[in-house]
Structure 1
């Protein structure tokens, strides 16, 4: 074959192939032709055709995205625990006749400690992934997750629970940094939106399991009301470790490490066969070499230099914005329902319904990403939630009756549904596509770190707004989240580019040319350009 890097029969030939320089693809006409053909075949492939020809790639992408179910599970677990009757009696303070509440400072600590651990994890994930790859880094994090669950399960005080959450958060950081990056690299261009959107679906799956377990154990008046749901976390790490071990490594990572023969095998395992696999490999090499010419070995400092600074700001801004458009209402749904005036038992029922509806919304996001652009989905989704947040605030401001309590609860469900179908999943797609390939492991980590930097104070604010020992605002918190969502919409309108249907080479060129965000969609990039 003209590419000169197909599977060979002897060890010496494989070693020779792996030592080939990426720059050959830019100087060899035959290789450049294959790279162009590889990119053209990606552009021409529709969503359904890509799904039929690359089912294994979709499965492996989903498996990596499914690791985020553990962060979701634990996050929702703690927000449900503060609403459990026995949990409040054992660890809380009395707020009235037969009423108890977890103090705001401890409630905030429980919600924030895991995020603090994840903040450390995302920074560690980038360098470790660059060195060892997505598979082994994720396996290491799963082993760590198995070990840290013991602390939470055997906790006997709020302090121990906070410590357990802090340590559990570290592997969360690895999962959320690696999952969108891996998913975006193993599937064809037309499937990037749908596969990265499954991150939000995994989040919802975790919420459904927690909601069901919490509802089932809500009326138990002993320690097992919270220990059994905690133990359910052990369901995930070991099976996922086996599946991740069997998964192919990202061919993009393998090419960056100079392991071409392995990259070709990985491409073939993901769905491309024969000439297609050679063309895909040439396309990857071309993009990797073009990025290498723009900068040397990837480092954290590169994220804040030149055009990569703009990309980093978009990624960090998109991640941080997840905390400002009503998402925290979804994350604290059970407690929000209680504060809106719904009984404890009904609140847990509503939370289960809410989690199932979020799953439905996630599924609906798949065709949305195929039909509409990333920018369009984010702007319209945010605008719709702004309207509902202010309606929620108005309901919380009028004279409170049984009807207004249920109106606030229903609006909370609607806000969660819109978020789970629009801003939530599309954010993961945007951050995976925006970063340069050579900096992807680092940029997704730093982006998620920005999410935690924004989330930690916002969790405290959300707890303060809802808690009976705080401001006790209930639905009136919609005024705050509505205003912050407006700010997110304005910033996205001016600075969020449209990346749907663009190859990573085209995205690199658009950023390198400093094309304004609102002109990304209409700017033409020729398939032969290497700028």
Structure 2
């Protein structure tokens, strides 16, 4: 029998009652906790060595019904989504500020005969874009092991503080008299900012995924990209409204505007309770119970929730011990891993990196800074609406059909933009801008949300966590490569292709369309068991959609299959 005193810190790790086993080792205590210690409030509870039973499934509720059932968690989820808004806001401020005329004068070089024509050198554009992403990757790599040691709150708090400190570095970048020193300080600030944002967003995702109930988890996770886009929209509006000044304050005010978002995020991550899953994993069951009470209303049985978390913890440890990383590259799982990795890179292939630089790119094409920023704001707004529509369309039309159709149309649009770039003049400039807006809408409804769906459902459940990690690394590597190379392609002091960059993306997008047709199957409406069997049968890609699975029964799985 076990005893817990909620008011005694020494009882955080369950202690056996004095029954002649005073010398019980720490390992033995750990075994007793692992074998199923039962906990509720401060009562004595039996701890039989049997598997914990899952709580009964609640009746299905509507989305609003689930929100009413979990009001606290809903509010915490929205609050933590501010972390992603900060990430989107930070990225768009840092990536869009080079389109401000005064910033170009302070950090760029004069180009051509016009005294007012300044550009940022390609090398520095590439470094700012690529190394900021490297900082985020480093933060994402540091975060997991730190979370396992310290929990979720501390990394989120420190990540927010690092991000705020990076703003101070970026703000002071205009002070050095040497222009290369100014550029270097700005670069250091971007790397530090990316590092902090990487820690913050990675940890926030972990917190949401293990704290939000299953019925609301999909909606909570969907808040992440939505708030990133929302942050980008707000940031783009700030840059647009402050860009007309003719002093350094025109861009410095955009840097300062990041601090209020950092302050709000810091307040939220300080207030959220520690993840109950982390506390259970470390044997701190009293703290886990208290944390659940803060996250749930009084109608929820927090004692039962602790038991469920214990069971899940035991199961995950047993499963993880049996799954090596190399399994992702064996047998039919190799095909699934390659599909997931390819699809995760699809945004780069249809031109997301160039679309993200639209405000500066359109100036290279010949548009004035005011209109280029206005088009950038319009593009983000259209992207928000398109993504909202795309989430619904992907479930109706199907992922493969949606990707193939949107990529095909996008290829033609890039080709048209490249052809328009062969001429100069107002018509060519605005044709380029409108083309980019069309691509934002078409891919926002089609390939972009469909790619998230394919990444989420293609890998096997057993390898899903590891496959997701591989796909994230693939996506980040592609993003870094495109961010570094593109300025050398379109900028005036390098490739100087301008709108003819459309020819490059026509080729890339066409190749992507062909590979998608050959390799990416249609999995809409399929269960995990059906998907597993179709891959085990090594069905051709185009046969997935029409596979009926009615020829004979596999008794071990209880699934009809051909």
- In the alignment, which residue of structure 2 is the partner of 1:61? 77
> In structure 1, which of residues 279, 284, 291 is the aligned counterpart of residue 316 of structure 2?
291
> In structure 1, which of residues 428, 443, 459 is the aligned counterpart of residue 483 of structure 2?
459
- In the alignment, which residue of structure 2 is the partner of 1:395? 417
Query: In the TM superposition, what are the counterparts of 1:355-504 in structure 2 within 5 Å?
Result: 355-364=380-389, 367=392, 371=395, 376-377=398-399, 380-381=402-403, 383-398=405-420, 399-421=423-445, 423-424=447-448, 447-485=471-509, 494=519
Distance 1:147 1:70 in 2: 14
- In the alignment, which residue of structure 2 is the partner of 1:333? 358
> In structure 1, which of residues 110, 116, 138 is the aligned counterpart of residue 128 of structure 2?
110
Following TM superposition, by how much is the alpha carbon of 1:391 offset from its aligned partner in structure 2, in angstroms?
1.6
> In structure 2, which of residues 15, 23, 34 is the aligned counterpart of residue 21 of structure 1?
34
Distance 1:46 1:212 in 2: 36
Following TM superposition, by how much is the alpha carbon of 1:234 offset from its aligned partner in structure 2, in angstroms?
0.9
Following TM superposition, by how much is the alpha carbon of 1:138 offset from its aligned partner in structure 2, in angstroms?
0.9
Q: Secondary structure at the match of 1:471?
A: coil
Following TM superposition, by how much is the alpha carbon of 1:185 offset from its aligned partner in structure 2, in angstroms?
2.8
Distance 2:494 2:242 in 1: 27
Q: 1:362 to 1:168 in 2, by over 3 A?
A: same
Following TM superposition, by how much is the alpha carbon of 1:459 offset from its aligned partner in structure 2, in angstroms?
0.9
Query: In the TM superposition, what are the counterparts of 1:133-172 in structure 2 within 5 Å?
Result: 133-156=151-174, 157-172=182-197
Following TM superposition, by how much is the alpha carbon of 1:165 offset from its aligned partner in structure 2, in angstroms?
1.0
**346-355 or 179-188, which deviates more:** 179-188
Following TM superposition, by how much is the alpha carbon of 1:255 offset from its aligned partner in structure 2, in angstroms?
3.7
> In structure 2, which of residues 189, 194, 203 is the aligned counterpart of residue 178 of structure 1?
203
Q: Secondary structure at the match of 2:110?
A: strand
Q: 1:60 to 1:348 in 2, by over 3 A?
A: same
Distance 1:278 1:191 in 2: 21
Distance 1:386 1:88 in 2: 37
Higher-Rg structure is: 2
- In the alignment, which residue of structure 2 is the partner of 1:239? 264
The 8 Å contact of residues 189 and 501 in structure 1, kept in 2 or not, is answered as no
The 8 Å contact of residues 153 and 227 in structure 1, kept in 2 or not, is answered as yes
Q: 1:256-275: per-residue Cα shift (whole Å, max 9, x none)?
A: 33444544554554447657
TM value normalised by structure 2: 0.75
Distance 1:102 1:360 in 2: 32
Aligned length: 513
Unaligned runs of 5+ in 1: none
- In the alignment, which residue of structure 1 is the partner of 2:113? 97
Distance 2:451 2:274 in 1: 24
Q: 1:203 to 1:281 in 2, by over 3 A?
A: same
Distance 2:4 2:495 in 1: 66
Q: Secondary structure at the match of 2:99?
A: coil
Q: 1:449 to 1:78 in 2, by over 3 A?
A: same
Q: 1:93-129: per-residue Cα shift (whole Å, max 9, x none)?
A: 2222322211111111121221121121111111111
Q: 1:57 to 1:229 in 2, by over 3 A?
A: same
TM value normalised by structure 1: 0.79
Distance 2:455 2:77 in 1: 16
Following TM superposition, by how much is the alpha carbon of 1:334 offset from its aligned partner in structure 2, in angstroms?
0.7
Q: 1:347-402: per-residue Cα shift (whole Å, max 9, x none)?
A: 11111222222233344456557x559xx347615641441242232233144553
Distance 1:498 1:284 in 2: 31
> In structure 1, which of residues 84, 106, 121 is the aligned counterpart of residue 139 of structure 2?
121
The 8 Å contact of residues 358 and 416 in structure 1, kept in 2 or not, is answered as yes
**181-190 or 129-138, which deviates more:** 181-190
Following TM superposition, by how much is the alpha carbon of 1:59 offset from its aligned partner in structure 2, in angstroms?
3.0
Following TM superposition, by how much is the alpha carbon of 1:85 offset from its aligned partner in structure 2, in angstroms?
1.6
Following TM superposition, by how much is the alpha carbon of 1:162 offset from its aligned partner in structure 2, in angstroms?
1.0
Query: In the TM superposition, what are the counterparts of 1:79-98 in structure 2 within 5 Å?
Result: 79-98=95-114
> In structure 2, which of residues 217, 233, 251 is the aligned counterpart of residue 226 of structure 1?
251
Distance 2:305 2:173 in 1: 51
Asked which structure has the greater RCO (Cα within 8 Å, sep 6+), the reply is 1
Q: Secondary structure at the match of 1:96?
A: coil
Unaligned runs of 5+ in 2: 17-29, 39-47, 175-181
The 8 Å contact of residues 413 and 439 in structure 2, kept in 1 or not, is answered as no
Q: 1:334 to 1:13 in 2, by over 3 A?
A: closer
Distance 1:6 1:313 in 2: 51
Q: 1:416 to 1:139 in 2, by over 3 A?
A: same
Alignment RMSD, CA only?
4.6
Q: 1:123-148: per-residue Cα shift (whole Å, max 9, x none)?
A: 11111112222222111111111212
Q: Secondary structure at the match of 2:152?
A: helix
Q: 1:69 to 1:486 in 2, by over 3 A?
A: farther
1:72 aligns with 2:88: yes
Following TM superposition, by how much is the alpha carbon of 1:72 offset from its aligned partner in structure 2, in angstroms?
2.5
**46-55 or 333-342, which deviates more:** 46-55
Query: In the TM superposition, what are the counterparts of 1:182-261 in structure 2 within 5 Å?
Result: 182-261=207-286
